[in-house]
């Protein structure tokens, strides 16, 4: 069985608490009734057990407990802890660990959601039968908010652990694939050197090398995508012009895009954004790479302009266009899907990386096929303060 050790994101959980309005004052309303709920802990555990015993899949687990009555004790302890504890780091760590544990034992998250529905119903019965009439509404609302918070914490841990496990598997596959691909590519090059350039075999080797290079680039892009997905953005004030210039120079350094002319029109009042530097470098790299590759060879131009926008909220609009052919209408639905590419050597991860970078940095991106030219990409990002 896997054992997960993922740090508790206390700041994010505190934001959940604040959003639900669970302040010290509101929680104090529960103080006169805490012992009332705690006294019902064993009754709750028995009720919880009966409900899940009626579900065939859950009954199978309960029937084969390592220690008879273990789950009854766990549920009783959970109920007591929720009503005895304050909303502090210890309780968050406890709930977070439960969410991770659900992933470790491969528990269907739907059962956890069902469990919280049962808990709410049980608590509501206590309030309606034992809490004085004038306080019922506020206590019912408070109980619901506390259960919402508990469910949010456990679900966040579950999603974080599940996503991280999936990402680690994919990154592991990418790492394992990279080495064989590199070895295969080296072997093909050595074999190609042994034949004449006008030999049919030379062309076959060239084709194999092209596919091998595409696979290498795909592995690199997949790993980049999932590393970006995992990392939290660190926001700084960034100037657009240096990022664009650096990215363009990097793409042109091997001479492949030497003929492409990059035109920029960076407005002085739209020259900076608030974003993560690494995300923006990745975004502009793939944005310009796609644009450079798609230009019309007879008129190889890419244009980047910026301007401020105010609707639906203040932002910096970055517009990128090129002189290539517009994407076909039948390809529009697949355009942003991973692995889809209209280019023979494309990996299909450029657009997903761009979309991910924009989404992580609280922006918006729109891809529009131009009527007479190529693609127009419109990206809106937060402005500098």
pLDDT, tens digit, 9 for 90 and up, residues 243-255: 999 999 998 887 8
**Per-residue model confidence as pLDDT tens digits over 64-74:** 666 778 889 99
> Is 105 or 359 the better-scoring residue by pLDDT?
359
**Model confidence at 104: pLDDT above 70:** yes
Confidence band of 153 (pLDDT split at 50, 70, 90): very high
Which residues of the chain are in CATH 1.10.490.10 domains? 1-230
**In this structure, are residues 59 and 52 in contact, taking their beta carbons and an 8 Å threshold?**
yes
How confident is the model over 21-49, as a mean pLDDT? 93
**pLDDT tens sequence across 120-149:** 999 999 999 999 999 999 999 999 999 999
Mean pLDDT of 78-91: 91
What topology is assigned to 1-230 in CATH? Answer: Globin-like (1.10.490)
Distances (CA, A) of 193 to 179, 187, 188, 216: 22, 10, 9, 21
Residue 164 has pLDDT above 80, yes or no: no
Token pair in block for residue 339: 């692995």
DSSP class of 13: H
Taking the C-alpha atoms of residue 90 and residue 356, their distance in angstroms, rounded to an integer, is 34
Looking at 54-63, 190-199, 278-287, 305-314, which range is the least confident one?
54-63
Selected residue with higher pLDDT from 56 and 119? 119
Residue-level pLDDT at 116? 93
Distance between CA 71 and CA 111 in Å, rounded? Answer: 15
Task: State the average pLDDT over residues 253-264.
Answer: 88
Cβ pair 347, 217 in contact under 8 A: yes
Select, from the ranges 59-63, 308-312, 360-364, the one with the highest average predicted confidence (pLDDT).
360-364
In whole angstroms, how far apart are CA 334 and each of 113, 259, 330, 338?
Answer: 34, 30, 8, 9
Of 115, 341, 361, 85, nearest in space to 238 by CA:
361
**Residue range 334-361: average pLDDT?**
69
Domain 235-381 bears CATH identifier 2.60.120.260: no
Indicate where the chain has its CATH 3.30.565.10 domain(s).
235-381
Question: Which residue would you say has higher pLDDT here, 121 or 104?
Answer: 121
Spatial distance between the Cα atoms of 69 and 361, rounded to a whole number of angstroms: 48
pLDDT in tens, 282-295: 999 989 988 888 88
Average pLDDT over residues 53-60: 80
Mean pLDDT, rounded, for 216-232: 76
Single pTM value for the model = 0.56
**Higher per-residue confidence, 172 vs 24:** 24
Higher pLDDT, 26 or 343: 26
- Output the average pLDDT for the chain: 85
Confidence of residue 332 (pLDDT cuts 50, 70, 90): low
Q: What integer is the mean pLDDT of 35-40?
A: 96
pLDDT-derived band of residue 1, with 50, 70 and 90 as boundaries? Answer: very low
Instruction: State yes or no: pLDDT of 45 exceeds 90.
Output: yes
Quote the tokens at residue 290.
Answer: 């796609």
Burial 179-199 (b: 16+ CB within 10 A, else e): eebeebbeebeeebeeeeeee
């Amino acid at each position: 069985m896997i054992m997960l050790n993922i740090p508790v994101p206390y700041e994010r959980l505190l934001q959940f608490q604040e959003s639900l309005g669970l302040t010290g004052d509101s929680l104090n309303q529960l103080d006169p009734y805490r012992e009332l709920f705690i006294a019902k802990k064993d009754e709750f555990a028995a009720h919880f057990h009966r409900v899940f015993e009626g579900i065939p899949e859950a009954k199978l687990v309960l029937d084969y407990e390592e220690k008879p009555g273990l789950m009854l004790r766990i549920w009783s302890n959970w109920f007591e802890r929720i009503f005895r504890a304050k909303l502090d780091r210890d309780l968050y760590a406890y709930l977070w660990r439960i969410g991770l544990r659900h992933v470790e034992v491969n528990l269907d998250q739907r059962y956890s959601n069902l469990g919280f529905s049962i808990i709410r119903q049980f608590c509501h019965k206590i309030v309606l039968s034992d809490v004085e009439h004038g306080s019922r509404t506020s206590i019912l609302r408070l109980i619901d908010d506390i259960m919402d918070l508990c469910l949010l914490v456990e679900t966040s841990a579950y999603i974080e652990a599940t996503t991280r496990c999936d990402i680690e598997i994919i990154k592991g596959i990418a790492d394992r694939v990279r080495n064989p691909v590199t070895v295969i590519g080296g072997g093909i090059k050595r074999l190609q050197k042994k034949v004449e350039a006008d030999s049919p075999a030379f062309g076959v080797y060239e084709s194999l090398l092209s596919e091998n290079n595409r696979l290498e680039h795909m592995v690199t892009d997949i790993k980049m995508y999932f590393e970006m997905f995992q990392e939290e953005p660190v926001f700084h004030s960034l100037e657009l012009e240096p990022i664009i210039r650096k990215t363009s120079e990097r793409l042109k350094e091997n001479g492949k895009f030497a003929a492409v002319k990059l035109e920029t029109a960076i407005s002085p009042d739209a020259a900076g954004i608030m974003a993560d530097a690494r995300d923006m470098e990745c975004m502009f790299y793939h944005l310009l790479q796609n644009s450079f590759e798609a230009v019309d060879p007879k008129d190889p131009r890419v244009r980047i302009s910026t301007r401020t926008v105010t609707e639906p909220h203040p932002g910096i609009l970055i517009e990128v266009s090129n002189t290539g052919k517009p994407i076909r209408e039948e390809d529009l639905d697949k355009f942003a899907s991973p692995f889809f590419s209209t280019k023979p050597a494309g990996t299909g991860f450029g657009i997903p990386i761009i979309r991910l970078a924009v989404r992580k940095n609280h922006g918006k991106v729109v891809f529009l096929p131009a009527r007479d030219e190529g693609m127009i990409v419109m990206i809106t990002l937060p402005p500098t303060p």
